[in-house]
Every structure is written in C-alpha cells, then in structure tokens.
Amino acid sequence: MELKLSKIPEVHDEWEQSHRVRALTINGKSPFMDVFANWKSAEPADYKKIMKVMERVARLDRVRDEKHVKADDNKSGIYEMRAHTRRARVLFFYDDDTCKTAICVHTYWKGAGNQETAFEQAVALMKLWQASKETGNPKL
C-alpha cells in the first residue's frame, strides 16, 4: 500500500505560511479529493467557503474560531473545516512531525450520511498515516 501526501491544486503556495495543506492519497486515490473536486462545480458556495478555511489553516498556527475549524468532541485528533452556514465539511488532522502539515483525509456533508461514521473513517486514515510513518513508508 502506497501512502502519499498530494498537493491540493487550489491551495496557493503563498498561503502556506504556517502549515502545508495536503490530501492523503492511498494507492493513487484520495477519499478527499474526489468529493472536493466535485464540490467546485456542484456546490460552489460551499466550495468557496471551504477554500477560505483552507487558507486560514495554511496561514495560522491553529484556527481557534469554531465557525471555521472545530476539533472532534472525542479528542481523536481529527478536526473539521466548516463551510459556516453551509453544509460542506472537510475532515483533517495536523501532523507537526511532517513539516507542519494539515492532512485532509475525508469529507462530510452535514445532514446527509452519518457524521460519526465519517469521523471514524477519518481517525482510521490518520492512524494508517501514523503507522506508515513509523515504518518509513509514506511519500511526502
């Protein structure tokens, strides 16, 4: 299994003053990127708000305003980027060991599907990334 961090094309290099923002890719596929790319045309208002939050995550040490970024209530290490007043959510975690990186792993559409399941899947992906770092397998 090949794990890799992929650049998100819409994230500008000049934003990344505090954190790089990347997508986790597993064997060439990203659970995050496929849905995120669709939001650009299918849900442009949500997409635009998420892009503004990504910029904040990239520029700031930590985003403290829960309208934009909220930590998982279970203290799992997963955070959600929120399209405030909209429905799009991006689940991510911080990896300060890897060049201060915010790693996007999953999406969630508020009001559709099971939020708890989305967080569980994000936690599983985070643990997979962490385990791969311990064995020296991830590609940065």
Tens digit of pLDDT per residue, the chain (140 long)? 889 999 999 999 999 999 999 999 999 999 899 899 999 999 999 999 999 999 999 999 889 999 999 998 888 999 999 999 999 999 999 997 767 899 999 999 998 878 889 999 999 999 999 988 877 766 65
What is the spatial distance between Cα 7 and Cα 73, in angstroms, rounded to a whole number?
A: 28
State the pTM of this model: 0.92
Q: Where along the chain do its domains lie?
A: 3-132
Q: Please, what CATH class does the domain formed by 3-132 belong to?
A: alpha beta
135, 75, 11, 13 alpha-carbon torsion, rounded to 10°: -70
Burial 41-54 (b: 16+ CB within 10 A, else e): eebeebbebbbebb
Query: What is the reported pLDDT for 74?
Result: 83
Query: What is the reported pLDDT for 63?
Result: 92
β strands within 1-132, DSSP E: 3-7, 20-26, 69-71, 79-82, 88-95, 101-109
